Homo-oligomer: A and B are copies of this chain.
Amino acid sequence: MNRSALIDQIFLKKSFLCIGLDTDISKIPEHLKKADDPVFEFNKAIIDATHDLCVSYKPNIAFYECQGPKGWISLEKTMKYIQDISGDIFTIADAKRGDIGNTSKMYAKTFFDYFNFDAVTVAPYMGQDSITPFFEFMDKWVILLGLTSNYGSQDFQEIINETGDKLYTLVIRKAQQWGNPSNLMFVIGATHPESFKEIRVLANDYFFLVPGVGTQGGDMNSVVTNGRNAELGLLINSSREIIYASKEKDFQDAARAKALILKQQMSTYF
């Protein structure tokens, strides 16, 4: 999906909600566990209940990998289901990949060609040649880790260099030499609301994927106030708060209700 189509969807739906499909087989409702493919059945139910409220789904790849080949089949079916139900949903493989050039190319093939995701999250530690192979795919996106939502983000991302710049600001600046606002976004955690203003100045035209609202403690209003740009420029993710809103038979309704609250809050910013 290209940049203008994504922006159109956001303004059409008055939503910039991304729903994280961190589907943990041990946390899904009991009655689904008897199904042939419980992970897919759960995802399908969540997608049915929420696809009109969000603009994006973000399967967290670790949760599929840990089931071995079966998990990859669940992921494949989930991706196909999203595309069948709507051609207008932006799909993100939350995979945090990054390796030397020939290997990053294989990861890009996996998520862009094999699974047909629109975007993949990428870790910057290995630098230019670990990131640029992902840019070789038309209308596909790198979502590069900038300032993440977890407490470990302070260990290395906030290291200050000789000229007074923090590592994450160097990552955000340097990556703009390799990508552009039509194929590059940044992950900026909602748990750092004070940083959004400064980061928006560094990367005015770029989308930010924002995890950490809800379970991790981030506040949507301060993120939007400090982080939005003219095209809105934000995808705010919620995973566990929506998909595990209930562990009973009413999980679909509960997920929709949680997603609706977020979507309604979002619609006030348009």
- Give A70's nearest chain B residue, CB to CB: B69
Whether A151 pairs with B125 at a CB distance below 8 angstroms is no
A100-B148, A123-B98 known; A107+B65 contact, CB < 8 A: yes
Chain B residues near A62: list those with CB within 8 A: 97, 99, 103-104, 106-107, 110
Contacts of A149 in B (CB 8 A): 100
In the docked arrangement, what's the CA distance between A109 and B129, Å? 29
- Which chain B positions have C-beta within 8 A of A70? 69
Q: List 29 A-B contacts (CB under 8 A).
A: A22-B103, A60-B106, A62-B104, A66-B114, A68-B72, A68-B76, A68-B110, A68-B115, A69-B69, A69-B76, A96-B123, A124-B155, A124-B156, A125-B145, A125-B148, A126-B145, A126-B152, A126-B153, A126-B157, A127-B156, A127-B157, A129-B150, A129-B152, A130-B152, A131-B152, A156-B167, A159-B159, A161-B162, A162-B162
9 closest A-B pairs by beta carbon, nearest first, are A127-B152, A127-B155, A62-B106, A128-B152, A69-B69, A69-B72, A129-B152, A100-B150, A66-B110
Residues of A within 8 A of B (CB): 22, 24, 60, 62-63, 65-70, 72-73, 76, 94, 96-104, 106-107, 109-110, 113-115, 123-131, 145, 148-157, 159-162, 167, 170-171, 174, 211, 216
Given contacts A69-B72, A126-B157, A130-B150, 14 further A-B contacts (CB under 8 A): A60-B106, A62-B97, A65-B106, A69-B76, A96-B123, A96-B126, A124-B155, A125-B145, A126-B145, A126-B148, A126-B152, A127-B153, A127-B155, A160-B161
